[in-house]
Amino acid sequence: MASRKPRDSDHPKVHEAFRLMKSGRMDRREFIRVAALLGTSATAAYALAGLPEPAYAAGTLPFPADDPKAKSGGILKIAQPVQKMEDPATYSWVEMSNQTRHTVEYLVMTGPDNVTRPMLAESWTAAEDLKTWTFNLRKGVVWHNGEEFTADHVRWNIERWLDPKTASSNVGLSVFSAMVEETPEKDAKGKPIKRLSKSAIEVVDKNTIRFHLSKPVLSAPEDCYNYPTAIVHPSFKAPLSDNMIGTGPFQLAEFRVGDRCILKRVTKLKDGKDFNYWGGKVYLDEIHYYNFEADNQLSAFASGDVDGVYSFSVEQMDLAKSLPGVIHIARTAQTVACRMQVDQKPFTDKRVRQAVCKSVDNEAVKKLVYSDGGDSGQNHHVAPVHPDFAALPPLKRDVAAAKQLLKEAGFENGIELTIDVGNTDGPWHQTVAEAMRDQMKEAGITLKINVMPAAKFWEIWDKTLFGVTAWTHRPLGTMAMSLAYRTGVPWNETHYANPEFDKALDAAEATLDVEERKPKLMKAAKILQDDAVMIMPLFRPIYTIVTKNVQGYEGHPTQYHQFNKVWKA
């Protein structure tokens, strides 16, 4: 299999990547990911890499191959917070998207192996300059109302995401940020309003849509699986839960916020005809989500009420190990940014920010919070699990230097800071803050920890001067960097604006060769690290548990639920 070569019709970058792999400059996994991103089917990509495709279906389906032993029927019960389902484009929690993931689907799907495969799009091709992407949509996909899924529907969705009134975070994703342009209009704060460029989306025919981007983007397919990019029917009106028309195998049967979300298999279309799901066999009859807050999910599992949990915390690991079940551990880029707003005093002074960063030993914080698993951070947002990560010189805690910097900044008697903590991802946020507080004390920094309910924190996450914000996993190192630190993007909570950083990130995002991209991305990471906008002490592992009779389940680094091929023995 390894003797195979890319086809002539494959993207030139696939040929380039193939050469890099053969010369040993790109590892096989990265080649598969790159080839799949550029439109080569995952099966072909695995074959070119000389690797067997791990239990994934042949052809263009994104799901694992059917298990001959699989049994149809049954209900999968999962414990997770059951949240409101207003508008997928403004989802702010993964849990919301899990509730709708099997009903409203995505153009692509990134599996637990970090490979992106086609979903509602059957394939895609990219121009050599990575500025034009053509998505060929899957034929035969129908909405639950019997209507055929077409390219116009995709265009309608993207136009809606990029309408400022929708306030979707999708505008910050690389592929979509390259579709908007500034207009002479200004908002109340005097910022120019960005709108979709008229030439950005071209509907070639009813099954083909083409994106014309203002800059090269490597991660276009991966961006299309970010959780707020679910494709809804053009008749959509919020809240989604009131009239959920999708293309997926399940539909909403019962829903109460804070109680339960019951999904049942779609068998008939609204006009009474049979519904044939495009994605092949689906085994489960029903998926049930029951509302359990993070701390209670494991007790629900222990009681036998549910077959699996959304996640459990590191503090609960001993309990989880004592229960009869299968624990799944995923290495991720999930993290916390203990970030400062660089345009607010005293953080306008870079020396203060640097002093804060230098007073903390990230490795020590990581060991304290997650003694097993996880990676320590380097105060930038690229994680060791990312394919484009390269380690920068190790950060060293330097109390003397921190004191000196504070002195130079006019705080020779020390400084008092308050950090807001919402524990939005669990109590470990507070443990991180407490560890930092103890270390900062030595450098003359008195850190007060303002703990608040998660809902309250969510209200101020992007407004607070100094706060601990949770960031979920994203498959590429470039993605979170682009979402959170690029000048003027909506999720830029640090208010960081550095053209040099933006330029370095642009260069990284336009580079296919992972070996070539690494130094470019790490250049951007170094700029961010030097500008000391945050302490990012660690990247945490995530833990889930399912009963032994749940088959085909895999822990996903973003905690996305993909139950199409899950079955119960």
Partner 1 sequence: MLKLIGNRLLQMVLIMAVVSLVIFAIFDSDKFKRQIAVAELGGFAVSALSDQDYEAWLDRKGLNVPFYERYLKWVGGVMTGDLGRSFEKNEPVTRLLGDRLVNTGILAFWVFALMVPLSLTLGIIAGMREGAFRDRAVSFIAVLTTSLPEIATAIVLTVIFALGLQWVPANSAMINGWDWRQLVLPVMTLVLYDFGYVTRMTRASMAEVMTSQYIRTAVLKGLPHRRVILRHALRNALIAPFTIIALQLNWILSGVVVVEVFFQYAGFGKLLLDAALFGDVYVIQAATLVAVFVAVISQIISDVGYTFLNPRIRFS
Residue 515 within binding range of partner 1, rule CB under 8 A? no
**Burial class of 324 by CB neighbour count within 10 A (0 to 12, 13 to 18, 19+):** exposed
β-partners of residue 263 are: 252, 287
- Distance between CA atoms of 248 and 156, rounded to whole angstroms? 19
Residue 384 within binding range of partner 1, rule CB under 8 A? no
Residue 86 within binding range of partner 1, rule CB under 8 A? yes
Q: Are 434 and 448 in contact (CB under 8 A)?
A: no
Nearer to partner 1, 99 or 378 (CB): 99
- CB 192 → partner 1: shortest distance, Å? 12
The residue written with tokens 């032993």 in the block is 69
- Distance between CA atoms of 330 and 558, rounded to whole angstroms? 9
- CB 304 → partner 1: shortest distance, Å? 8
- Nearest alpha-carbon partner for 525 in 354, 380, 395: 380
Q: Are 388 and 508 in contact (CB under 8 A)?
A: yes
Interface with partner 1 by CB under 8 A: which range of 25-33, 451-459, 471-479, 502-510? 451-459
Interface pick for partner 1 out of 211, 283, 312, 461 (rule CB under 8 A): 461
- Distance between CA atoms of 354 and 440, rounded to whole angstroms? 12
Residue 303 within binding range of partner 1, rule CB under 8 A? yes
Residue 304 within binding range of partner 1, rule CB under 8 A? yes
Nearer to partner 1, 85 or 432 (CB): 85
Interface pick for partner 1 out of 51, 55, 142, 319 (rule CB under 8 A): 319
- CB 171 → partner 1: shortest distance, Å? 8
- CB 209 → partner 1: shortest distance, Å? 25
Interface pick for partner 1 out of 348, 459, 549, 569 (rule CB under 8 A): 459
- Distance between CA atoms of 543 and 239, rounded to whole angstroms? 31
Where do the H-state alpha helices sit in 136-216?
Answer: 151-161, 174-177
- Distance between CA atoms of 102 and 495, rounded to whole angstroms? 36
Interface pick for partner 1 out of 458, 510, 551, 554 (rule CB under 8 A): 458
Interface pick for partner 1 out of 43, 197, 299, 430 (rule CB under 8 A): 299
Residue 229 within binding range of partner 1, rule CB under 8 A? no
What residues between 52 and 71 interact with partner 1 by CB under 8 A?
none
Nearer to partner 1, 60 or 241 (CB): 241
- Residue 28: what are its φ and ψ, rounded to 5°? -65, -40
Binding mask 480-509 for partner 1 (x = CB under 8 A): ----------xx------------------
State the number of binding residues for partner 1 (CB under 8 A).
50
Q: Are 285 and 306 in contact (CB under 8 A)?
A: no
What residues between 233 and 272 interact with partner 1 by CB under 8 A?
239, 241, 256-260
Interface with partner 1 by CB under 8 A: which range of 11-19, 44-52, 300-308, 439-447? 300-308
Strands (DSSP E) along 146-246, which ranges? 180-186, 192-196, 201-205, 208-212
Q: Are 209 and 135 in contact (CB under 8 A)?
A: yes
Task: Enumerate long-range contacts of 193-196, CB under 8 Å, 24 or more apart.
Answer: 193/164, 194/162, 194/164, 195/162, 195/163, 195/164, 196/158, 196/159, 196/162, 196/163
Q: Quick one: three-class SS letters along 99-153?
A: HHCCCCCCCEEECCCCCEEECCEEEEEECCCCCEEEEEECCCCECCCCCECCHHH
Nearer to partner 1, 405 or 468 (CB): 468
Nearer to partner 1, 170 or 564 (CB): 170
Interface pick for partner 1 out of 129, 148, 187, 315 (rule CB under 8 A): 187
Q: Which residues bind partner 1 (CB under 8 A)?
A: 77, 84, 86-87, 90-93, 164-165, 167-169, 171, 187-188, 193, 239, 241, 256-260, 288, 290-293, 296, 299-300, 302-306, 319, 322, 453, 455-456, 458-463, 490-491
